[in-house]
Structure 1
Amino acid sequence: MKTATFPSLRVDPQLRQDTESVLQEGESLSQFIEKAVRSQVALRQAKADFLARALVSRDKARATGRYVDADAVVGKLRQRLQQAKDERANA
């Protein structure tokens, strides 16, 4: 597959300097930018997928009239978090 390029990007000199200051050894500015773009694409796709699942769940709840109380959900999440903390402490 043939590669493509992004348009050139003009930035404030301070932003470029700040970016270059955090590059890892052997990492180029282009590699850093590519990783950043890939990360943002993945994050935005995950957010879009989450929203789509949430809307389906909402519509299903409305159609069936079955809802779960928010306090019950938060309680279960706290319980799971505590279990994970306990398991980590015992590891």
Structure 2
Amino acid sequence: MKSAVIPQVRVEPELRAELESVLRKGETLTDFVEATVRSAIAFRRVQTAFHERAQAASVEYHRSGIAAPVEVVLERLQDKLDVKRTKLGR
């Protein structure tokens, strides 16, 4: 498959200078833009999946009237956070 070009974006010189000031050693503007676009795509996918799960949960709640108590939800979230912190060594 042939590669494609992302459309050029015109920016103010100040933004271009700011962008260039954060490039890592050996990193090109193209590298940065590609990595940023990939990150934005991944974020949008996670965001979309979150909204879909939230919508499904809302529909299920309105259908059944059954919901988890806030204490249970917060406890589960805290457990997940604790596991993640342990994995990261914090």
TM-score, length of structure 1 as denominator length:
0.80
RMSD: 2.1
Indicate yes or no: 2:28 matched with 1:15: no
Aligned residue runs from structure 1 range 1-91, under 5 A: 1-78=1-78, 80-81=80-81, 88=89
- Label 1:59 to 1:28 Cα distance change in 2 as closer, same or farther (>3 A): same
Could you tell me which runs of 5 or more consecutive residues in structure 1 were left unpaired when the two chains were aligned.
none
In the TM superposition, what is the alpha-carbon distance from 1:66 to its structure 2 partner?
Answer: 1.0
CA-CA distance at 1:79 after TM superposition = 5.0
1:58-88 deviation line (CA, Å, top 9, x unaligned): 1112212211122331244335545765784
- Separation in 2 of the partners of 1:39 and 1:6? 15
Distance 2:63 2:45 in 1: 27
Q: Distance in 2 between matches of 1:86 and 1:45?
A: 26
- The alignment-based identity, stated in percent, is 34
CA deviations on 1:14-53 (whole Å, 9 max, x unpaired) are: 1111111111111100110111111111111110111001
TM-score, length-scaled by structure 2: 0.81
Give unmatched runs, 5+ long, in structure 2.
none
Q: SS in structure 1 opposite 2:43?
A: helix
2:18 alignment partner AA: D
Paired residue total: 89
Computing the radius of gyration over CA atoms, which structure comes out larger, 1 or 2? 1
